[in-house]
Structure 1
Amino acid sequence: MSGLRDRTGKTRRWAGLLTSGVVTLLAGLSVLAAGSPEAVADAGHHKRASSAAMSQVAAMQPGWNLGNSLDATGSDETSWGNPRITEALLDNVRAQGFKSIRIPVTWGRHQGPAPDHALDAEYLDRVEEVVDWALADGFHVMINIHHDSWQWIADMPSDRAGVLARYNAIWEQLADTFRDHPSRLVFESVNEPQFNGGLDDARNAALLDELNTSFHRIVRQSGGGNTDRLLVLPTLHTSADQARVDELADTIDALGDPRVAATVHYYGYWPFSVNVAGGTRFDATAQKDLTDAFDRVHDTFVARGVPVILGEYGLLGFDRHTGTVQQGEKLKFFEFLGYHARTRNITTMLWDNGQHFQRTGFRWNDPELFAQIRSSWTTRSGTASSDQVFSARSEAVTGKTLTLNLNGTSFTGLRHGSTDLVRGRDYTVQGDRLTITAAAITRLSGSRAYGTNAVLHARFSRGVPWRIDLITHDTPVLRDATGTTGSFAVPTDFRGDRLATMEAKYADGTNAGPHDWTSYKEFDRAFAPDYAGGATVLTSDFFAEVRDGARVTLTFHYWSGAKVTYHVTKSGTSVTGTAA
């Protein structure tokens, strides 16, 4: 996973070049003019192999990651909190419509010392068992070297020979173990490669090239099914920045192997992905970050005959919980990601470390999210500017307008439960403007208790409906409090509203707390709403970067548009909070 990304593009090293398959074909035709039919036959084979790689990667769409299991860095696959992998789990994942499965594997604790660097036989057998279950289910399966990338491979700048020997030993053993497995088994050289010791791009590119090239040589020379098995090579950090994809393009070009695919990861525009710096919405900036990333890998690889696998995708905030990003904005992100990946012929593999599909219950924790993801594999869905319509209880009800994002669909109606609302009476549509009338909101909100009073669904000509919550609210009320830097909460009567973000500033207007380049703090890292407990929690991470004795003014921004200020002062480990 990545943080802020370098967006300075370099001239593509592949500019003006064709794919290796086409280059070989043209070379063969040139030799044919000189009378060499063997060269033409070789060129034709190369082109067919390149087409086969593209076809196989296309057949892998969509994919799913079996995260935080065999890649766990503890003693076994349960050490990060997930249960042991079962055949039933894989059966149920397959039933969700996934055609490929990425099985990340961390080998470090299961590998002996030099010079043999032997893999633990029992652990290797377990990996093979899970791979065989997945193949039996009909999956395309991808295995790799995973968290070893930062645990010890990152030391390659200071221990090149030692790291390379250990890395090579793993792939020699894996190539031998899986030599005769079906071609639906795919090898990925290393996950999110990274190197210690600074940001020397040329050095890092050379080290990754050495790893990828060594991996390629070992697998190809091992014979059997490995002679033409699909091999997947990552960019540095699996980044889609132009400099990084250019570096990998150089490696693939030099290998001249048409049975190779490229892989990158995508976790969204960072401020949106973790909800910091006011990045609460999947806006034009966040959308452009996505389109630029996918367009770069398409233009550099796919357009030249090299398939691309998005080996992981999601939102970085999901590492904490899936509520870090507001639901409607989250749904828009995944709807658009699936669509744009399809237009760029990129195979996608959802990162799931247990937070999405239940490993024993075999249900989705957020069925609405998965419905949107699944729909995006084949079509577009309509969305709207928000999935929340707020009406203040202290004021008369008025009609509320949302902007529809039709995404190539057409609006077909608005429904409450199984009842279609009446156009002209309950709502109106003018162009892309959907207005829910005051009469409809009043009727559907009943006694107007704080919170969600009714759930509507905007329906479109295709894709999934767009949920709209009718919410009654008033401006939240915050109260004085005392506590410590390790345990402080602002008593909050949310009164039906929902917290979007929080600003923190000192009296002189400078930014307070973590990420002091922005006044808007990171959701769930610096602060978090506790709706059930009636409180807004300020974390120890927040106070760790607040000046002692200085009063901080907090501004809480709510999704209704309300803003409420509050003051906190830290004195040693004590904290005092006062309502403004």
Structure 2
Amino acid sequence: MPGRLRSLLALLMVGAGLAVPTGAHAAPRSATVPAHAVPRSATVPAHTAPPDVAAAVAAMQPGWNLGNTFDATGADETSWGNPRVTPELLAGIRAQGFRSIRIPVTWSQHLGAAPGHPIDAAALARLREVVAWALDDGFHVMINIHHDSWQWINTMPADHDTVLARYNAIWTQIAAAFRDASPRLLFESVNEPQFAAGGDDAALLAELNTSFHSIVRGSGGGNTERLLVLPTLHTSADQVYLDQLAGTITALGDRNVIATVHYYGYWPFSVNIAGGYRFDATAQQDLLGMFQRVHDTFVARGIPVVVGEYGLLGFDRSTGTIEQGEKLKFFELFGHQARVNRVTTMLWDNGQHFDRTGLTWRDPELYGQIRSSWRTRSGTADSDLLFTARSAPVTARTITLNPNGTGFAGLYLGRAALRRGSDYTLSGDQLTLTAKLLRRLLKDRTYGVRSTLSVRFTRGVPWRLDVLSYDTPVLTAATGDTGSFAIPTAFNGDRLATMTATYADGSYAGPQNWTAYKEYDRTFAPDYTAGVIRLTSDFFAEVTDAAPVTLTFIFWSGASVTYHVTRTGTTVTGAAG
């Protein structure tokens, strides 16, 4: 689901007691409640899928989403900016190690009038062509009803019969069209189901899932035993929704049914807001709790699980919303937990990860971490950035390693192994770089990355460590407008982590006024090439006129710089503080 279609789902911030809008993929979750504190139902009986079903779902790992393509709400698969799907694209994805592909499909714009709601023949034929290519390539393939969930299915409380009839008409035609397709084709009943106020959401979703199951099974042919994928409400992994779906699956009594949820991380970390710019203990516990609940509710009872979408919500704007090392730690732990909990995962990619024309990864380092996590753990560290102030003497510096069950195998500069003792020391998980080594790495001490080291472990991918020279950034006065205000900034080799915004009385300024920390990229963003920090129109749209705002910019070196802005109508003035 693209960022431009951010849904109105809410994240309940338990600690603050305030409702906060989530990103496009985020399902509501009690973000601050640890997994062990959430009661789990003990009344759902064991399901136990046949060994061949469990094996089939395991064989789907890892999976990839063909996002922003057939799920686009425009005229065709290119309307959201991606190229037409080709056999070469699918072969390119297969060559990356992916074994399954989820093809989200939005049907609204391809449907005729009631009562039959015929699907446009050309659109269906094109989907069948791409599905056939994927199956011929050896993929397991999943198709679904996608953005229809918020376009019209969500009106079911007020328009029950019309919605159900339209939903049933779509699945009746899909089931007929793919009746004799390979058993490696899976059907997913609906993506991220949600309903407007006024109904019993759990009952409505159970009705849709049950109707879907009945239509597909009743269509005969290969559909009598085809693997069917059923979502939780919002595809959330909150315990209440897992229990609801477990009850539906038990009532169906069909062992060829799979459960699905989506996961985009602890929301503040996922979009870089509310001070959540690090993959800290809270963000880690959110991930661990999700896998624990999914395992205990489904996997341990013999119901296979597919995480049909995963990633970070900030990626919908820019993969740079989350700092590189922090995102790598997220994906390393996610892949490990998927393995140990026997859960199949499908990476959400709307074109921001795999270049569908060049058939290469836009961020090879990220892909390398993801791919490695399918097989083993990798060591990491508390950061991938080591800052040394240019204005200060060079001294020894220590970083904390996170071996993640691996062993330390050496510190390298390029292909050259550095010498233990003279270049570095290691005591437990504390890696110390000597002053002698740092003086050599920093060279002439001009600003920015001066050298890149590689921490190697006995398994997995190495951990990259950039050694940077910096001084505290300098921000200068500016005048502009609310459309896009640019603060002239000499970054001096530093990198921006986050920003707070407060009024003189200490209250919070700008959007999401439940937190001082504003959302990266949505309200502010650095432009290192242009030498500015930009404040967006979204930020000023919720700033009180003529009320001075104090901004604090927090950098990855640990430096903080204060700046003051005042909006007067559409005019903005700013000055260093």
Which residue identity lines up with residue 26 of structure 2 in the other structure?
A: S
Give 1:20 deviation, angstroms. 3.3
Deviation of 1:10 after TM superposition, in Å, equals 6.8
CA distance in 2: counterparts of 1:511 and 1:142, whole angstroms: 45
Counterpart secondary structure, 1:150:
helix
Q: Tell whether 2:543 aligns with 1:519.
A: no
Residue matched to 2:156: 156
1:2 aligned partner: 26
CA distance in 1, matches of 2:463, 2:301: 38
Rg bigger for which structure? 1
Counterparts of 1:364 and 1:378, CA distance in 2: 19
1:138 aligned onto 2:135: no
Q: Which amino acid aligns with 1:514?
A: P
Structure-1-length-normalised TM-score: 0.93
One-letter amino acid of the counterpart of residue 89, structure 1: L
Per-residue deviation, 1:285: 0.3
Question: Could you say which residue in structure 2 is the equivalent of 1:105?
Answer: 105
Distance (Å, rounded) in 2 between the aligned partners of 1:560 and 1:10: 37
The equivalent position to 1:210 in structure 2, one of 207, 212, 215, is: 207
Matching of residue 20 in structure 1 with residue 44 in structure 2: no
- Partner amino acid for 2:196? N
Deviation at 1:167, TM superposition (A): 0.6
Residue 91 of structure 2 corresponds to which residue in structure 1? Answer: 91
The secondary structure found in structure 1 opposite 2:529 is coil
Q: CA deviation at 1:487?
A: 2.1
CA shift for structure 1 position 398: 1.0
User: Which residue matches 1:485?
Assistant: 482
* Matched letter for residue 155 of structure 1: T
Residue type at the aligned position of 2:47 = S
Equivalence map 1:252-291=2 (5 Å): 252-291=249-288
Q: Does 1:549 align with 2:516?
A: no
- The question of 1:231 aligning with 2:228 is answered yes
Alignment coverage as a number of residue pairs: 549
What is the identity, as a one-letter code, of the residue corresponding to 1:552? Answer: V
What is the CA–CA distance in structure 1 between the aligned matches of 2:95 and 2:167, rounded to whole Å? 35
Which residue does the alignment assign to 1:62?
62
Shift of 1:314: 0.1
Measure the CA separation in 2 of the matches of 1:10 and 1:425: 50
Residues 194-223 of structure 1, C-alpha deviations (whole Å, 9 max, x = no match): 11126x6xx000000000000000000111
Question: What is the alpha-carbon distance in structure 2 between the residues aligned to residue 425 and residue 387 of structure 1?
Answer: 22
Kept in 1, the 8 Å contact 2:509–2:543? The answer is: yes
- 1:351 and 2:348 matched: yes
Q: CA, structure 1 residues 502+102, in 2 after alignment: closer, same or farther (shift >3 Å)?
A: same
| Cα distance in 2 between the residues matched to 1:458 and 1:371 | 15
Tell me the CA shift for residue 67 of structure 1.
0.3
262 and 4 in structure 1: CA distance in 2 versus 1, 3 angstrom threshold: closer
Alignment of 1:441-456 (within 5 A): 441-456=438-453
- Residue aligned with 1:193, SS: coil
**1:247-279: CA deviation from partner (whole Å, max 9, x where unpaired):** 101100100100000000000000000000010
Alpha-carbon offset, residue 378 of structure 1 = 0.6
The SS at the match of 1:20 is coil
Instruction: Give the drift of 1:445.
Output: 1.5
Question: Shift of residue 52 of structure 1?
Answer: 2.0
Find the partner of 1:251 among 245, 248, 259. Answer: 248
In structure 2, what is the equivalent of residue 374 of structure 1?
371
Contact 2:194 2:233 in 1 (8 A): yes
- Superposed displacement of residue 438, structure 1: 1.1
- The CA deviation at 1:55 is 1.2
Runs of 4+ in 1 over 6 A off after TM superposition: none
Q: Measure how far apart 1:535 and its partner are.
A: 0.2
2:404 alignment counterpart:
407
Letter in 1 for 2:45: L
- Residue 118 of structure 1 corresponds to 118
2:297 to 295, 300, 306: 300
Amino acid at match of 2:430: R
Partner Cα separation in structure 1 for residue 333 and residue 435 of structure 2? 32
Measure, in 2, the Cα distance between the counterparts of 1:125 and 1:17. Answer: 41
Give 3-state SS (helix, strand or coil) of 2:355's partner: coil
User: Structure 2 stretches of 5 or more lacking a match?
Assistant: 1-24
Asked if 2 retains the 8 angstrom alpha-carbon contact of 1:3 and 1:270, the reply is: no
Contact 2:540/2:567 (CA < 8 Å) preserved in 1?
yes
Letter of the structure 2 residue corresponding to residue 501 of structure 1: T
Which has the larger displacement, 393-402 or 349-358? Answer: 393-402
Confirm whether residue 471 of structure 1 aligns to residue 468 of structure 2: yes
Percent identical among aligned pairs is: 67
Q: Indicate the SS of the match to 1:329.
A: helix
Once residues 44 and 204 of structure 2 are traced to their aligned partners in structure 1, the CA distance between those partners, rounded to angstroms, is 24
- Structure 2 equivalent of residue 79 of structure 1: 79
* 1:384 aligned partner, one-letter code: A
Aligned residue for 1:568, secondary structure, equals strand
Contact 1:51 1:305 in 2 (8 A): no
- How far off is 1:51 after superposition? 2.2
Per-residue CA deviations over 1:515-545 (Å, capped at 9, x if unaligned) read 1111111101110000000000001111111
Q: Which structure 1 residue ranges, 5 or more long, are not aligned?
A: 22-48
* 1:362 alignment partner AA: L
- Which residue is equivalent to 2:494? 497
Q: Helix, strand or coil: the match of 2:174?
A: helix
What is the CA distance between 1:444 and its match in structure 2? 1.5
RMSD over aligned Cα atoms: 1.1
1:116, 1:515 → 2: CA distance?
Answer: 45
Report how far residue 50 of structure 1 moved.
Answer: 2.5
| Deviation by residue 1:330-369 (Cα, 9 ceiling, x = unmatched) | 0000000000111111100000000000011000000000
1:400-442 Cα distance to aligned partner (Å, 9 max, x none) = 1110000000011010111111111111100000011111111
How far, CA to CA, are the matches of 1:400 and 1:533 in structure 2? 31
How many Å separate the matches in 2 of 1:184 and 1:494? 52
From the superposition, tell whether residues 456 and 496 of structure 1 become closer, same or farther in structure 2 (CA, over 3 Å).
same
Corresponding residue SS for 2:127: helix
In structure 2, what is the Cα distance between the partners aligned to 1:3 and 1:402?
35
